[in-house]
Amino acid sequence: MTGQFIGVGVGPGDPELITLKAYTLIQQADVISYIANAQGESQAKVIAAQALNKAAPKQEEIPVVMPMCDDRNIANGIYNKAAGAIAEAIQVGKTVVFLCEGDPLFFGSFAYLLERLQDQHPCQVVPGISSVHAASSALQLPLTMLKESFAVMSGRHSDQQLLDTLNNHDSVVIMKAGRSRQRILNALKASNRLAEANYLEYIGREGEYIARNVQQLQGEAGPYFSLFVVTKQERDRS
C-alpha cells in the first residue's frame, strides 16, 4: 500500500474558484488535514465545504491547531507533531489532502509540512488561485504591464524594506497587512504612493471590503486576511 501527501489550493475564499482537480482530490481523500485555530475553526475547510460534504462519510481529519503567535519553537513543535500523524496515515496506504487557502506554496503553511515529509513519502501539489490574483481581479487592475517591475512583500518586513520596495518597483503587493497596516500606510506616505494604493480585506468571502482611497483607513490594525495593491497611476502602454 502506498499513500501520499497532497497539498491543494482552495483559492482566496470564493468556493467557485477551487479548481476541478482540487475539488476531486478533496472528495476522494482518505484523510483531510488543515490549519485550525484554538476553537477548531478553519478558513480553508469553510471554503472547501461543498467538496467535503460530498466526500465519503468515513473520511478522517487531522487538524493542525495553530495559535496566533510568533513563537517559532511552538510552531515547529506543532508542525512536527502534525507531520508525524500524516506520515502514519501515509504509511498505511492513505491519501492525505491538506487544504491550503490560496496557493499551497505561496505564503502557505503547507510548505512547512512538505519539507518535513517529501524526502520520505510521495507528495503532490495542486496550485490554487492566490489572494494576489483575486485582488487584481476584484480591482479590475493589471498587476504588471510591459516592462513594469513587480514585488510581493508581507507586513512582517521592516519599515525600511517596505520603503525601499515601494521606491524601487512599479507594482507592489503587501500581504498580511493586519497588525502592520499603519506602518504600511506610513511607508506609502513616505514614498508618495498613497494615491496609487488600494486596500482589500477578505477577498471573495463574506465581509469583503475594498478601499480605493487608503487615506480613509483608520490607524487601527486590520484583519489578518488583508493586503495592499500599489500600481503606477500613469502607465506606459507604448
- pLDDT tens digit string along 180-226? 999 999 999 999 999 999 999 999 888 899 999 999 898 788 888 89
Secondary-structure class of domain 131-230 per CATH: alpha beta
Sequence-ordered list of residues with C-beta below 8 angstroms from that of 46, at least 6 positions apart, any chain: none
Evaluate if residue 69 carries a pLDDT over 70.
no
Give bridge partners of residue 209 from the DSSP assignment.
Answer: 201
Distance CA 210, CA 137 (A): 12
Residue 92: the pLDDT is 95
Q: Which fold has domain 4-126?
A: Cobalt-precorrin-4 Transmethylase; domain 1 (3.40.1010)
Strands (E), the chain: 4-9, 31-36, 60-65, 95-100, 123-126, 150-154, 171-175, 197-201, 209-211, 226-230
In this predicted model, what pLDDT tens digit does every residue of 80-100 receive, in sequence order? 999 999 999 999 999 999 999
C-alpha cell at 190: 513616505
Q: What is the pTM for the complete model shown?
A: 0.88
How large a percentage of the chain has pLDDT more than 70? 97
* Per-domain boundaries in the chain: 4-126, 131-230
Confidence of residue 57 (pLDDT cuts 50, 70, 90): confident
